[in-house]
Structure 1
Amino acid sequence: MTPRQNAQPAPLAAPTASDSGLFLPLRTAVVLLTALVLGLVIGGLTAFAGAHPDAVAIAGLTAAGASTGALRTLIQ
């Protein structure tokens, strides 16, 4: 048998100037947060209209999902 070498993990690279340590880029966070707010607003308006809670959830999720594509192109 040959002796095994201890596997050493590769050292972590030093952070660069462009790496700010954010979990998400700012643009992505703004798009997702705006889509969330729009989904909540549409869901709330649907609830105030007296719709069934299932319809409220579907309306809010649809509005949030549909707005992400448009917001992605609008927010640059």
Structure 2
Amino acid sequence: MSVEVKIGIENSPRELSLTSKDDADKVYKTVTTALASGDGVLELTDEKGSRVLVPAAKIAYVEVGSAESRRVGFGAA
């Protein structure tokens, strides 16, 4: 199951959004480890294998949610 991750970055009007193949618990653990180190770097990998690196000191917020739950269109229930 994939999860959608949204990262708010200080002094940036847009958030960084990606879909990760990892489960939510693993993403939470990765984020908390990066934030605990203070001067560390948050490293996540998206569905396509691209790595995303964000300086932990610049992270304003991280939102983790299920990517499967979003349905758009006329058939959405």
Tell me the TM-score normalised to structure 2 length: 0.26
Q: Which has the larger radius of gyration?
A: 1
Higher strand share: 2
Task: Pick 1 or 2: higher relative contact order, CA cutoff 8 A, min separation 6.
Answer: 2
